[in-house]
Structure 1
Amino acid sequence: MSVPRRLLGIARNARPASVPCCAPKPRQLSIISARQQSNQATRRIHQQTPRKAQHAAAVQEVEIESTNPALSFPCLDAHESRSASLSKRSLAGPEPSYTSGHTLNFHSRQPILLDWGGILPEFNIAYEAWGSLNQDKSNAILLHTGLSASSHAHSTETNTKPGWWEKFIGPGRPLDTDKYFVICTNVVGGCYGSTGPSSIDPANGERYATRFPILTMEDMVRAQFRLLDHLSIQKLYASVGSSMGGMQSLASGTLFPERVGRIVSISGCARSHPYSIAMRHTQRQVLMMDPNWARGFYYDGVPPHGGMKLAREIATVTYRSGPEWEMRFGRRRADPSRPPALCPDFLIETYLDHAGEKWCLEYDPNSLLYVSKAMDLFDLGQEHRERINKVRKSNSGKLQAYLDGSAIETDTSSDVCSLTLPDQPYEEKEQPADFDAKAVEADGSAPPADLVAGLKPLANTPALVMGVASDILFPAWQQREIANTLKRTGNKNVTHIELGEDKSLFGHDTFLLDLENVGGAVKSFLG
């Protein structure tokens, strides 16, 4: 009988019970290296040995332990435990709605053509409103949200939970409900009541999942203006937004300049830049690599909560700033009395872990993919807009065919879903000899002519543009670029405010937290 595999851990200095006939003679041992001796000892283990030798080796194996104990991984235990509980829940039916409370709803039965050729046969917009619309309907403010926010910006009678901009909305507040009628929507593509990937496709009665079409910021804005049409609001007093909402606010003014009285864009941009695209790409990748994502068709099973948790942790790193975290956490560990661990150990790690765990089941993973991709595609430059307009024109026949009840022809040769990876990966190239670093205007002092042309529709629209020096996701130079570009269009009413680190250390999330500086500027601008 051969020795079991578990005995391969026998100590190197264990003496074999018998020496095979092929073993070297004693005088030869002096010239054999230690490695050869070890290899030979290992080979002997697999040979037949007397039962007594096997017993002795087994006893020796029991007595010898690893030099160090195995680490514990409570973070992985928690992940596996949640997966197990979600697996039991999935047996009872689809996962529950992500909608966080009662909203008003606008349902459009008219189809909408999206920028990249997709069609939504009908769609729903979840929205909430505060204040009263005046007689001539001239006091409406459209408030745009960030990526993951719902329409619940402020508490209502039917949903008393505090909203994400609770302190900014109300009588005497920056968005003064004694003066204005404030409307906030959940964007198309979201999961808090508006039509998105988790919604039912009326064509087949199944969830869209990743059959949902690619979106743009402009698609979301067009859907919002369908709501304004429904409310008979011809012109907004103001379009206000922060982060992704700041992008939408600019988009609303360029798409409908005659319907927007003034623009507020806080911590936004006129075009997404490589760093923010890279960070959102990373979030999407860790989510899509979660086996439970199942290419988007997870609604009747276990949702990809692990991928969502990691995606949120990456996002949270970009939302706050280094100076703030230095003050809040420093290099402190959660429990200095314990040895270091590979699971969350430093206070900053436990903070990120908690933020990811808390959020991973509050937002639809597919919505994160689609809405974040729409942010990446955002570019108000003239060249990009002309390209998209050509695509829309070429796809206009699809919308007409749908309205006529005809079959929609799909040109598979130009199918936008036929993306393939390049044969040759990108390689670093040497910097050209004539490269002029000064020509790359990262400070926004000289906006490109293409962007000036793209923002020309806003030449007569008063605008407030705010940035935060500690913001790493939408760095302050991007808000300077917006302001300078608007001035280049001939706009004489541009207010640009940049909060230095002496006023705010909260990074990108400053717009959620700084009632005095952000709120004060908004209130002053709106009048």
Structure 2
Amino acid sequence: MTEFIPIGTRFFELPSPFPMKRGGALHGARAAYETWGTLNAERDNAVLIVTGLSPDAHAAMNTGNPEPGWWEAMLGPGKAIDTDRWFAICVNSLGSCKGSTGPASINPATGQLYRLDFPELSVEDGADAAFSVVHGLGIERLACIIGNSMGGMTALAYLLRHPGSARSHINISGSARALPFSIAIRSLQREAIRLDPNWNNGQYDDQTYPEAGMRMARKLGVITYRSALEWDGRFGRVRLDSDRRDDDDPFGLEFEVESYLEGHARRFVRRFDPNCYLYLSRSMDWFDLAEYGGDVMTGLAQIRVDKALSIGVQTDILFPLQQQQQVAEGLRAGGAEVEFLPLPSPQGHDAFLVDIERFGPAVSGFLADL
């Protein structure tokens, strides 16, 4: 499968061998990243952004790539993450197909794609890769690490495994462990991919791509990324016009919401590698800070930052609000000055991408006080 790497993305060669938490090691691996702003002489104005499952390192336009990024409204001169003040870094997740080494990359030992020969991937591996990038840029301590969704997990792992590596933390719709509902949804997504005959135990190519499985997996994901309130307000029970229906399919698309999901899925499926999806999805299910001390609160309390902001959304069903409250309480138990901010956004888990009117002031206000 083709890797989808934005123009202007840079690459950091990870230490070789690069040990993986659950066993094995990578050789000749790399992490993709992009930067914005200027690192000051003291090297103390760096902000690291770690992402959810699917985003690349191109969070916003920059000198290397003038195309808008996935967090364009939040990152840039005068924006919430103000690059006139901050030197921002965004690292693509290890295991992705967006430039960092993953199952869709070439295994130097064989000259072929890793596919399922890629070592078992954990959130902690992504955290260690991001840490290597930051230190490779000559930054000893971040001003702040910001993690969204899966990135919230990655940020917590980063802080726990690398003590003293950041002064502050913003956790956005993240969590310290996967809950059963989230595990169940991701399990179904992975099953949809694996049951597609074209998946072929990971041995597919561009001509025999498991499109049906990826479409179903993406639809399941999108349903959980938004809230029932959002679906109702946006689509209601509006039916498709007759010219947009397939009369030859007795169970074809009939409602606008079905058409939206179909279009969203089709735009995604050929832009993400299925094996990478499987590995990253499972890494979230495995993540559990209870491994570090016997329970989640003990794990969180081992993290040392000066200040933290934990933001959640009241309509989020994938990473529900009590998980961000738990992060706040656990970091506070570790001695941090912590604010927990529950937002009433109707957009559910995806609110941090679209509800900039709420998220922007929260993030900018926190950073302004650093």
Q: Kindly indicate whether residue 359 of structure 2 is the aligned counterpart of residue 523 of structure 1.
A: no
Write the deviation string for residues 145-181 of structure 1: whole angstroms up to 9, x where unpaired.
Answer: 1100000100123322110000101111111101110
Match of 2:262 in 1: 353
> Cα deviation per residue 1:180-235 (whole Å; 9 max; x = unaligned)?
10000111100011100011111111110000011111111111111122111110
Matched, 1:327 2:225: no
Deviation, 1:300, is 6.3
Counterpart CA distance in 1 for 2:137 and 2:126 is 17
TM superposition score normalised by structure 1: 0.67
Question: How many residues get paired?
Answer: 365
Question: How far apart in 1 are the matches of 2:189 and 2:16?
Answer: 34
Q: AA paired with 2:356?
A: L
Q: How does 1:223-302 map to 2 (within 5 A)?
A: 223-299=129-205, 301-302=207-208
Amino acid at match of 1:513: V
- Name the residue aligned to 1:380: 289
Residues in 2 aligned to 1:321 and 1:300: alpha-carbon distance in whole angstroms? 34
How far the C-alpha of 1:285 sits from its partner, in A, is: 0.3
Q: Is the 8 A contact 1:253 1:457 kept in 2?
A: no
Deviations 1:261-305 (A, max 9, x none): 101001011111000011011000000111111111113641111
Structure scoring higher RCO (CA < 8 A, sep ≥ 6) equals: 2
Query: Per the alignment, in what secondary structure is the counterpart of residue 346 of structure 2?
Result: coil
Partner amino acid, structure 1, of 2:269: C
- Aligned equivalents of 1:462, 1:247: Cα separation in 2: 17
The secondary structure found in structure 1 opposite 2:312 is strand
Structure-to-structure mapping, 1:463-478, within 5 angstroms = 463-478=308-323
- TM-score computed with the length of structure 2 as normaliser: 0.95
CA distance in 2, matches of 1:461, 1:272: 26
Aligned residue for 2:3?
A: 97
Cα distance in structure 2, aligned partners of 1:368 and 1:204: 22
- Residue 464 of structure 1 aligns to a residue in which SS? strand
Once residues 368 and 192 of structure 1 are traced to their aligned partners in structure 2, the CA distance between those partners, rounded to angstroms, is 11
- Partner of residue 298, structure 2: 453
Aligned-partner Cα distance in 1 for 2:48–2:331 = 21
TM superposition shift of 1:122? 2.1
Matches within 5 A, 1:434-445: none
Compute the displacement of 1:458 (Å): 2.2
| Contact 1:464/1:496 (<8 A) preserved | yes
Task: State the 1:490 CA deviation.
Answer: 3.8
Deviation string 1:338-363 (CA, Å, 9 cap, x unpaired) is: 78941111111111111111111000
- Deviation track 1:410-459 (CA, whole Å, cap 9, x = no partner) reads xxxxxxxxxxxxxxxxxxxxxxxxxxxxxxxxxxxxxxx72222112324
Q: Does 1:509 align with 2:353?
A: no
Question: Who is 1:369 aligned against?
Answer: 278
Larger radius of gyration: 1
Identify the residue that residue 213 of structure 2 maps to in structure 1: 307
Tell me by how many angstroms 1:460 deviates: 4.3
Q: Is the 8 A contact 1:130 1:181 kept in 2?
A: yes
Q: Does 1:344 align with 2:253?
A: yes
Equivalent pair of 1:252/1:260 in contact (CA under 8 Å) = no
Which region of structure 1 is more displaced relative to structure 2, 161-170 or 476-485? 476-485
Aligned to 2:329: 484
CA distance in 2, matches of 1:161, 1:453: 43
Return 5+ residue gaps in structure 1 as ranges. Answer: 1-94, 387-448
User: Which deviations, in whole Å up to 9, do the C-alpha atoms of 1:295-345 show, x marking residues without a partner?
Assistant: 111136411111111110010000011111111111111126978941111
- What are the within-5 Å matches in structure 2 for residues 384-399 of structure 1? 384-385=291-292
8 Å CA contact 2:169, 2:305 repeated in 1:
no
Q: Distance in 2 between matches of 1:453 and 1:97?
A: 39
Identify the structure with the greater strand proportion.
2
1:286 partner amino acid: A
Structure 1 counterpart of 2:342? 498
Q: Note if contact 2:52-2:150 (Cα within 8 Å) is conserved in structure 1.
A: yes
Task: Report the counterpart of residue 35 of structure 1 in structure 2.
Answer: none
Partner Cα separation in structure 2 for residue 199 and residue 346 of structure 1: 39
Of residues 17, 41, 47 in structure 2, which corresponds to 1:111? 17
For each residue in 1:349-406, what CA deviation from the matched residue of structure 2 results, as whole angstroms up to 9, or x when unmatched?
Answer: 111111111111000111100001111111112xx236xxxxxxxxxxxxxxxxxxxx
Query: Against the structure 1 CA distance between its residues 300 and 324, is the aligned structure 2 distance closer, same or farther, given a 3 Å change threshold?
Result: closer
Give the whole-Å Cα distance in 2 for the aligned partners of 1:457 and 1:256: 11
Give the stretch that moved more between structures: 454-463 or 179-188.
454-463
1:241 shift after superposition:
1.2
**Residue from 317, 323, 347 that aligns with 2:223:** 317
Sequence identity (%): 42
> Where in structure 2 are there 5+ consecutive unaligned residues?
none
8 Å CA contact retained: 2:225, 2:318: yes
Partner amino acid for 2:331? Answer: L
Paired residues of 1:320 and 1:506 also in contact (CA < 8 A)? yes
- CA shift, 1:109, in A, is 5.0
The residue number in structure 2 matching 1:398 is: none
CA positional deviation for 1:482: 1.3
